[in-house]
């Protein structure tokens, strides 16, 4: 059970490892892009290439769909970014257990956006956890985990790609351990739990009052989605990359400060932030030097 790109390596790993996959469950196809053309989910497209049966129920909780899964008599459910909540009735179906692949070191960052929030909060490491699912939100017993460092250049995209591959590898190790009865599930310490709620487009708006280092983390965590943005007058600017400029500034946060040719520095809550890549709503994503060739941004310009 999975839907986006993150779940694809897990599906591929299951197939390559020789597990029998009687059914792949994914979200219904939805319109995407500016043309709003309906396209298959990433998991559906992959499953079709592998010759696997696919189901796309609007809800996995209906009596008919529950009965369909019960009839399969599966040993496992494997869930990776499915996008629907499984009922206890569903969780009780697999003979050995329902297994979830989650992109954080649980109990930290329970929720829909663990990759983004780990970056936004300036974490130095994150990872993958496999767990036995229960009716809570990412609260099941931990089976295995694997860590990775978060670098100063990681974005939500680069971290997503790395963790998706780690998740696939850890999932196979988890299933092998459960089959061999060599894994002992470990209850989560709820006192250490943090949340990673789903992000909306509006969450990407930059608050220039925050320190430059925090804004660097914020921008990387919001890239590529939902995207970090600010306004210059009524023009919406999307910021893809930036770095703190360790220079004291006297200007109010959000004010463009004087800088060298081809550079764009903005005052923050403590120092300047140097913008490296940006895009206007109707333009292309550009390095700041190329952007400034056509559109100068004078010192004193206010971003909000």
Mean pLDDT score, 175-202: 97
Q: What percent of the chain has pLDDT over 70?
A: 100
Residues 6 or more apart in contact with residue 189 via CB below 8 angstroms: 107
The whole-number pLDDT of residue 268 equals 97
For the chain, give every domain's residue range: 5-192, 201-294
pLDDT at residue 12, as a whole number: 98
pLDDT tens by residue, 122-146? 999 999 999 999 999 999 999 999 9
In whole angstroms, what is the distance from residue 138 CA to residue 193 CA?
10
Separation between Cα atoms, residue 57 and residue 60, nearest integer Å:
6
Query: Would you state the pLDDT for residue 258?
Result: 77
Structural tokens at position 246: 């360790």
Fold of 201-294: 3.10.25
* pLDDT over threshold 90, residue 32: no
- C-alpha closest to that of 273 among 193, 194, 217: 217
Average pLDDT, the chain: 96
pLDDT of residue 245: 93
Tell me: pLDDT of 113 over 90.
yes
- The answer, yes or no, to whether residue 90 has pLDDT greater than 90, is yes
182 pLDDT higher than 80: yes
For 141, 143, 181, the CA distances from 184, given in Å and listed in that order, are 9, 7, 8
CATH class held by domain 5-192 = alpha beta
Chain position carrying tokens 């663990």: 114
Q: Which positions ≥6 away from 101 have C-beta within 8 Å?
A: 7, 10, 78, 79, 80, 81, 128, 129, 130, 167, 168, 170, 171
**pLDDT band with cut points at 50, 70 and 90 for residue 54:** very high
pLDDT of residue 265: 95
Residue 74's contacts (CB-CB under 8 Å, 6 or more residues apart) are 22, 93, 94, 95
Mean pLDDT to the nearest integer, 222-242: 96
In percent, the amount of the chain with pLDDT more than 90 equals 91
Say what the pTM is.
0.95
């Amino acid at each position: 059970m999975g839907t986006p790109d993150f779940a694809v390596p897990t599906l591929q790993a299951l197939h390559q490892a020789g597990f029998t996959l009687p059914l792949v469950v994914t979200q219904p196809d939805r319109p995407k892009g500016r043309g709003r053309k309906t396209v298959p989910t990433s998991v559906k497209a992959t499953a079709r290439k592998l010759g696997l049966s696919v189901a796309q129920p609007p809800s996995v909780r209906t009596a008919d769909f529950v009965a369909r899964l019960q009839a399969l008599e599966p040993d496992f459910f494997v869930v990776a970014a499915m996008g629907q909540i499984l009922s206890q009735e569903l969780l009780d179906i697999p003979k050995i257990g329902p297994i979830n692949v989650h992109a954080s070191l649980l109990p930290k960052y329970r929720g829909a956006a663990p990759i983004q929030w780990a970056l936004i909060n300036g974490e130095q490491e994150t990872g993958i956890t496999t767990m036995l699912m229960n009716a809570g939100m990412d609260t099941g017993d931990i089976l295995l985990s694997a860590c990775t460092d978060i670098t100063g250049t990681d974005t939500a995209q680069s971290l997503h790609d790395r963790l998706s591959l780690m998740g696939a590898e850890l999932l196979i190790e988890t299933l092998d351990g459960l089959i061999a009865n060599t894994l002992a599930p470990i209850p989560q310490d709820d006192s250490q739990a943090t949340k990673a709620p789903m992000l909306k487009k509006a969450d990407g708006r930059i608050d220039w009052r925050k320190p430059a280092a925090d804004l660097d983390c914020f921008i990387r965590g919001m890239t590529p989605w939902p995207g970090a943005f600010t306004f210059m007058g009524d023009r919406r600017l999307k910021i893809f990359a930036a770095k703190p400029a360790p220079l004291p500034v006297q200007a109010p946060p959000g004010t463009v400060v004087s800088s060298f040719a081809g550079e764009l520095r903005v005052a923050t809550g403590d120092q300047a932030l140097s913008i490296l890549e940006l895009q206007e709503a109707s333009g292309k994503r550009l390095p700041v030097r190329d952007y400034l060739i056509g559109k100068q941004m004078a010192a004193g310009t206010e971003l909000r």
